[in-house]
Amino acid sequence: MTKNIQIHIPGFPRIGAKRELKQALESHWRGETTAEALEHTGRELRARHWALQRDAGLDFVTVGDFAFYDQVANHIQLFGCEPARFGFAPATPPLQRYFAMARGVGNSADGDGTTPTACGNPACAEHAGQAEQSGHEGHHGAALEMTKWFDTNYHYLVPEFSPLTRFALAGERLLAEVAEAQALGHAVKAVLLGPLTFLWLGKSKRAGFDRLSLLQQLLPVYGALLDQLKTLGVAWVQIDEPILGLDLPGAWRSAFDPTYWQLNQVGVPLLLATYFSPLEENLSLACRLPVAGLHVDGVRAAHELTSIADWLPHHKVLSVGIVDGRNIWRSDLDAALAALAPLLAKRGGKLWLATSCSLLHVPFSLAGEDQLDAEVRGWLAGATEKLAELALLQQTLAGADTAAALQQSRDAIAGRRASGRVHNAAVAARLAALPADADRRAAPFAARQAAQRERLRLPLFPTTTIGSFPQTAAIRAARAGFKRGELDAGQYRGAMQAEIADAVQRQEALGLDVLVHGEAERNDMVEYFGEQLDGFVFTRYGWVQSYGSRCVKPPVIFGDVARPRAMTVDWTVHAQSLTARPMKGMLTGPITILQWSFVRDDQPRARTALQLALAIRDEVADLQQAGIAIIQIDEPAVREGLPLRRGRWDEYLGWATRAFRVAAGAAADTTQIHTHMCYAEFNDILPQIAAMDADVITIETSRSDMELLAGFGQFRYPNEIGPGVYDIHSPRVPDAAEMVRLLRKASAVIPAGNLWVNPDCGLKTRGWAETEAALRQMVAAAHQLRAEQ
Ligand code: GLN
Ligand code: ZN
């Protein structure tokens, strides 16, 4: 007899409790270990993770969520659609082809994997090592492009589709893993990406080609795969169609019905899984599809649960993702039970419970965080703790005596809610008293521009850089030594000041107009600030996979954010003391800090953003007070914070741009505020970018040959712009002529008086030799442009 309440998870982190997969991959890529050894590690990790699921009491283990690099890449092999451009010889082993697609061929790309970063954008400086491989479109062996998995900081490899694409059931891996789990005695739920989501996530390699037209060809291959899974005797196949939570074009929506009608013919029970977003206009479509069950995100689509419970026919399984798979907070089990009660009543007591989405997006466990105090640790839950929460919910609903465990959970929730460490009255008071015009500079841009010109007296086409200079081995060693206590504070400060002096001297020798201190003291642009702010904690092992073997360890914002003291003033003032040229202060903006952290779930993101904004605002005021005339507030993550549904963009952009303006709002008219954003499609949010009202914005645009800038021109972007004139993702040194050409192109769309000259992004991943060579050319290009005016 099957239980009324069953529990499962859409997926589990595969990197391993101690990032074993990362180590195994990187040593294999270095040629130190064989493919067999890597496969062995994979098998061990799977076995361990399935055992954890079974031991926690899950009714099925999930098979198919494992990948040596990326789950989407697994599907490319599974469905036999490796791009022909790789020209693989028939005898090339599948794993070798797989890594070639993931990492490119003819590249020694082992830069990745060693230094964790907080950056969510593989196209920016923080991820330059990887972007280098994929940056060269057209090179036949270039890695597949990477892009963000929905609104997460995980990056998947983008399938390439063209009229020549053919599908065939090619990969053996999934079937072998199912057999592996069965041999270990597990009840198996296999997981697959649905055909529509798979096609959606890919890109058309020929202009005008509609990848949806490949569906008819793809479906029989899915059918054959499902048939084999059925033969193997899997209990369920979870088929992920998260695109049901997006604004879908009509043709894609109407493809769902016939697709699932066809796949359902195979006769293996299908659990259609959606996550990350409410279903909205796709709700009744999702409920009606001819499948055996539907999984919905009980956190992001909580308000839809009642209608789904009503609309989903009673013979179908409803799986409610009640435990948050996107954040690291312990669940409020009382609230969960209260939310489930009416659903259970509607569903005749039958329900599946799950995490909202795959646990890929949370750390493996937070139980071993020995440097967090027990109180804060008790508020957190990683993947393994979330399994236990599901089990506790199941047991409670099955009538077991769980009072003691529930009480413990209740105490932790109550403790967090009441904690004086979470709530800071001064912060609340400041927010409440914030004047409505705190987000406004005193004068409009034109007046500020005049005042700043008067003060700064910069030449036309002023040259600058984005902030970071090469993070040399010596810098990293000093920072690590300081963290380990081998260098004392004085020695560390001395070492960093020497690095700053070196950077200043090199910039003066190059003849740059606006200098930076180089960010030697920063390991990471978010962590550096988080470590100095109240309301943040840092885990030791809270790694989350970002792509391939790369993991990030996002800071945790658990309480009201406040800035106890200045964070950057000493370094910046020291740097300014070494030069007569303007020294640009360098800050990370509130939205980027928010976006690259785990954020508290007990208040709206907008409120946390505003608290961060006030902390940065204070830093702006202090820098200004110390005589710094130019302050850059980096916001590379503004674009990636956009909600999945367009209908919510305005709301987000409203509070996000206001947070930026509040941060910048302390600047006097004579203080020039810069912002920086990395490569992204900005054209659809130009009015909002303009509304941030930074005096200068630097953007990455060299790789698009200034195409990106055309939008700014058409929109008549009112303030000053520094379009990146060379790509920092490559060690190649561009020549001045190339940059002159780009700058002339830029002057055609932006008034020359509003143009700055700078690289695309920060230079932390580059070496000094190539950096100086490139900047010398850049300065020469600016001089040539000035001469032409
Ligand atoms: N100021 C930062 C740097 O130069 C900006 C990095 C980024 O855009 N991600 O490194
Ligand atoms: Zn950047």
pLDDT number for residue 136: 37
pLDDT of residue 730: 84
The CB of 586 under 6 Å from ligand 1? The reply is: yes
Q: What is the ipTM of this complex?
A: 0.99
Mean pLDDT of 542-569: 97
Q: What does the pLDDT average to over 534-553?
A: 96
535: left (phi over 0), alpha (psi -120 to 50) or beta: left
**Is there an atom of ligand 1 within 6 Å of 678 CB?**
yes
pLDDT at 108: 43
Assess whether pLDDT exceeds 90 at residue 188.
Answer: yes
Looking at residue 681, its pLDDT comes to 79
Q: Is residue 8 among the annotated active site residues?
A: no
Provide mean pLDDT across the span 124-139.
Answer: 42
pLDDT digits (tens, 9 = 90+) for 42-99: 999 999 999 999 999 999 999 999 999 999 999 999 999 999 999 999 899 999 999 9
Q: Does pLDDT of 111 surpass 50? A: no
- Asked if the model's pLDDT at residue 561 lies above 80, the reply is yes
User: Which residue is it, tokens 């008219």?
Assistant: 669
The ligand placed nearest to the CA atom of residue 119 is: 1
| Angle, helices 403-418/333-346, rounded to nearest 10 degrees | 120
Where residue 153 falls among pLDDT bands split at 50, 70, 90?
very high
SS3 for 73-111 is HHHHHHCCCCCHHHCCCCCCCHHHHHHHHHHCCCCCCCC
**The pLDDT of residue 1:** 52
Looking at the CA of 524, which ligand is closest? 1
Q: Each residue of 313-333: pLDDT tens digit? A: 999 999 999 999 999 999 999
pLDDT at 132: 37
Mean pLDDT for 652-664 is: 98
Please say if the pLDDT value at position 124 is more than 70.
no
Helix axes 649-664, 605-625, angle to 10 degrees: 20
Residue 197 has pLDDT above 80, yes or no: yes
662 CB-side CA count, 13 A: 25
467 CA from centroid of ligand 1 (Å): 6
**Among 519, 523, 525, residue to substitute to test ligand 1 (most atoms within 8 Å of Cβ):** 525
Ligand 1 proximity of 124 Cβ (cutoff 6 Å)? yes
Rg (the chain; Cα; Å): 27
Give the number of the atom of ligand 1 that is nearest the alpha carbon of residue 676.
8
Please name which of 430, 436, 431, 441 lies closest in space to residue 631, comparing C-alpha atoms.
441
**Ligand 1 close to Cβ of residue 762 (< 6 A):** yes
> Rounded to whole angstroms, how far apart are CA atoms 743 and 787?
13
Q: What percent of the chain has pLDDT over 70?
A: 95
For residue 789, the model assigns a pLDDT of: 85
pLDDT at residue 135 greater than cutoff 50: no
Residue nearest to atom 1 of ligand 1 (CA): 467
Tell whether ligand 1 has an atom less than 6 A from the beta carbon of residue 126.
Answer: yes
Q: How far apart are CA 70 and CA 56, in angstroms?
A: 26
Whose structure tokens read 């009660």?
341
Mean per-residue pLDDT, 681-692: 93
Q: Is 118 in the pocket of ligand 1 (CB under 6 A)?
A: no
**pLDDT tens per residue, range 439-455:** 999 999 999 999 999 99
Global pTM value:
0.94
Round to whole Å and give the CA distance between 133 and 663.
36
Please report the pLDDT score of residue 341 as a whole number. 98
Q: Is residue 504 scored above 80 in pLDDT?
A: yes
Give residue 488's pLDDT band: very low, low, confident or very high (50, 70, 90).
Answer: very high
Q: Is the pLDDT of residue 704 over 90?
A: no
Angle between helix 768-788 and helix 489-510 axes, rounded to 10 deg: 40
For residue range 446-480, what is the model confidence (pLDDT) as tens digits? Answer: 999 999 999 999 999 999 999 999 999 999 999 99
The pairing of beta strand 155-157 with beta strand 61-63 = unpaired
pLDDT at 679: 67
Model confidence at 300, pLDDT cuts 50, 70, 90, reads very high
Return the structure tokens found at 7.
């529990």
Dihedral over Cα of 103, 108, 109, 113: its sign: positive
Q: Residue 112: pLDDT band by 50, 70, 90 thresholds?
A: very low
pLDDT-based confidence at residue 139 (cuts at 50, 70, 90) = low
Coil, strand, or helix at residue 240? strand
- Residue nearest atom 3 of ligand 1, based on CA coordinates: 762
Question: Which residues on neighbouring strands pair with residue 236, listed in sequence order?
Answer: 189
640 Cα–ligand 2 center, Å: 13
Confidence check: pLDDT of 123 > 80: no
Listed in sequence order, the residues at least 6 apart from 210 whose beta carbon sits closer than 8 Å to its beta carbon are: 204
pLDDT category at 127 given cuts 50, 70, 90 is very low
- Candidates 295, 361, 517, 729; catalytic one: 729
- Whole-number mean pLDDT of the chain? 94
The string over 641-659, giving b where at least 16 C-beta atoms fall within 10 Å of a residue's C-beta and e elsewhere, is bbebeeeebeebbebbbbb
